Every structure is written in structure tokens, then in C-alpha cells.
Structure 1
Amino acid sequence: MQKKSMHELGRKSIDDFREATKTPIIIVLDNVRSMHNVGSVFRTADAFLLEAVYLCGFTPVPPHRDIHKTALGATETVAWKYYPTTGEAIEALKLSGYGIYAVEQATGSFLLNQQGFGPGDKLAVIFGNEVTGVDAGILPICDGCIEIPQLGMKHSLNISVAAGIVLWELVRERL
């Protein structure tokens, strides 16, 4: 076994990435405070060729060296928009035909491994604040909540870890 070379990995150029057909998933960050988490989410969005990242409320926006530190250039490839409130982002997404799903432990949520999304479904996935999660006022305007099954004593994950898990599960069946 041998590591693949950069050529073998088939990396896209920035222009190739921008022109490529995207996975119809948009990440919405609801008042995420950590620039490192924001950068990590951008990097994950790039890895899965997602359509965009929406930054809401007090979520920091690029350019910033602390975002760049974990994004490693993904803020240059992944489209992003800023909205003063998450509600405004959801309103725009609904008008564009996206299903809106918060990643949150909530009454009536469905487990990630039991989701039934199809390959062409346009999805917006909301990740919340590192301490308080997705704002409780946002949940009633979502189409549902996705919950990551957790078996241990701790029932929370860092947002960048949660994003990687959820997005892989949503993207893998589209491959």
C-alpha cells in the first residue's frame, strides 16, 4: 500500500471547483462563535463539493486568518453568504425549494442513520452554536431535526465533527 500522489488524487483547480456540478446541500451556521469551527466546516463543504455555506448572526465571516487556518483555502472555492439572522437564511432557502433540517436533539427528531433523503433532494442543514445548539426559535420553521446517534455518556459533539458525520451520511448515497 502506498499513499496517492497529488496527481492521483485528481484535485480540482479553483476554477474547476467553481464550475463543477455541486451536491445540492447548503450548510447553515447559526451563531457559531469559533473561527476554527467555521474554517473546518468550509473545508468539509469543499471536500463534499457542497453548494454553499450560509453564515448567520454572529458567525464570523471570511477573510480572517483564524478561519483560513482550518479552511486551508476552502473559503476561496466554496460559495458563501452572510445573513443577519438564521430566519432570513431559512426564508431564502425555502423560496429556492430547499428542505430545512436542523442538526439537533429534539422531540420528534429522526436519527441520521434512518434518514430517507433522495439523491436529488435539495437540503439545507443547520448547525448551531457550540454551547446552546440551534436556536430554539428556529426549530419550528424547520422541516425536521436530524439527530446523530450517540451511545456514550456525553451527548454532544464539536460542530466540525458533527458536520463531517452528517454531511458524509447525506453525501455517500449520492456517490
Structure 2
Amino acid sequence: MRKLTHDEISLKRSKPEEISSVKKLPVYVILNSIRSNYNVGSIFRTSDAAMIEKLYLCGYTPHPPKKEILKTALGATESVKWEYVKDALSIIKELKNKGIKVCALELTENSRAYYELNKNDFPLALVVGNEISGVSQEILDHCDMAIEIPQYGIKQSLNVAVAYGIAVYELRKIFDLNNQNKS
């Protein structure tokens, strides 16, 4: 086994000039009132890796060009389509009007495991909430569903950027498996 060089890895990746024509994961991500620049930067980078459709930064979520975001995102702010919109509910309503299901990444009385979604759940808007308080009840009232990541230890949650990474990669897996079956 030999580790690939950066040049070899680059051959398998999309080029910046091709990014607008690359088929995206039909997932829109709504970050609502995330506090940490570093979490936002990490979410940008993971969003690029999973090739999501669009990232909405809402509430008091910091947004580029903050240096901490740019440092952590490593250029993903240029490859991920994003927009700052103060009111998350306005985006949720807009996406729902387009027929996109809205899903909170949150522990609720009706949440299901993150790996239980299926092809009929796409396109999907994934709402990710504040590091401490999570997704607000006001936002939950407008969601079609909620998914959770089971916790097996004594802690009740994961870091928001880590939880997002787990969830979005599972969404990528579910979407890709269903599209392979169509071929």
C-alpha cells in the first residue's frame, strides 16, 4: 500500500472551473445561529466534500470573509454555493414551497435514526442548530421530520460540525446507493 500524492488525489477531484456543472447531492443545509467560526468553516469543508447543493447561514451564524472560517474551510467557501439569510424560517418556507422536505438534525420525540432516511426523502433541507440549544422549537414546528445520531456514551450530543459530517455523509450514501440501483 502506498499513500497517494496530492497530484494523484487532485486527478480524481472536480476542478474549480467545473464545480457549477458537477451533479450535486440534492441537500440544502440551513445553519441556524451557530456560534463558532471554526464549526462553520468545518461545515463548509464537509459540505464541499459531500458536494451539497447549497448552504444557508442564518441567524447570528458567522459567515465569510471571517478569517477563522476561511482558515478552517481551506477554500471550500469558493466551491460551496452559500448565502447569508438572517431569518431561517424564510428559507425553510421558500424550500418547502419548492417541494423540498425539511429535516432537523435534532433529538425530538419523533426523531428517527439518521440512517433511516430513503430515496423518497430527497431533495432535502437539513437544519442544523446552535451548539448549545440545538434547533429551536419555532424551527422544529416547520420541519417535516427530524433525524438523530444515537448516543451510546454518557454525553447527550456531539460537536455540531461532527454531527453534521456524520449526517451529511449518510445522506450522500443513501442518495448514491439509490442512484446506483437506477443504472
| TM band (smaller chain) | over 0.9
Structure 1 alignment gaps of length 5 or more: none
C-alpha distance in structure 2 between counterparts of 1:87 and 1:170, whole Å? 23
Structure 1 segments, 4+ long, off by >3 Å, are: none
Contact 2:101-2:121 at 8 Å conserved across structures: no
Aligned to 1:68: 70
C-alpha distance in structure 2 between counterparts of 1:133 and 1:31, whole Å? 9
Match of 1:69, SS state, is helix
Aligned to 2:35: 33
C-alpha distance in structure 2 between counterparts of 1:90 and 1:99, whole Å? 9
Contact 1:24-1:120 at 8 Å conserved across structures: no
C-alpha distance in structure 2 between counterparts of 1:119 and 1:173, whole Å? 10
Following superposition, the deviation at residue 7 of structure 1 comes to 3.6
Following superposition, the deviation at residue 144 of structure 1 comes to 0.7
Aligned to 1:152: 153
C-alpha distance in structure 2 between counterparts of 1:27 and 1:140, whole Å? 17
Give the structure-2-normalised TM-score: 0.91
Following superposition, the deviation at residue 163 of structure 1 comes to 0.6
C-alpha distance in structure 2 between counterparts of 1:36 and 1:103, whole Å? 19
Aligned to 2:49: 47
C-alpha distance in structure 2 between counterparts of 1:26 and 1:124, whole Å? 4
Work out whether 1:104 is the aligned partner of 2:114. Answer: no
Match of 1:100, SS state, is strand
C-alpha distance in structure 1 between counterparts of 2:85 and 2:74, whole Å? 23
Following superposition, the deviation at residue 114 of structure 1 comes to 2.3
Contact 1:30-1:127 at 8 Å conserved across structures: yes
The share of aligned pairs that are identical, in percent, is: 42
Contact 2:114-2:149 at 8 Å conserved across structures: yes
* Pair 1:141–1:119, CA change in 2 (3 A): closer
C-alpha distance in structure 2 between counterparts of 1:157 and 1:46, whole Å? 21
- Paired residues, what number? 174
CA RMSD in angstroms, aligned pairs only = 1.3
Give the structure-1-normalised TM-score: 0.94
Work out whether 1:3 is the aligned partner of 2:7. Answer: no
More helix by share: 2
Following superposition, the deviation at residue 86 of structure 1 comes to 1.1
C-alpha distance in structure 2 between counterparts of 1:63 and 1:12, whole Å? 23
Match of 1:102, SS state, is strand
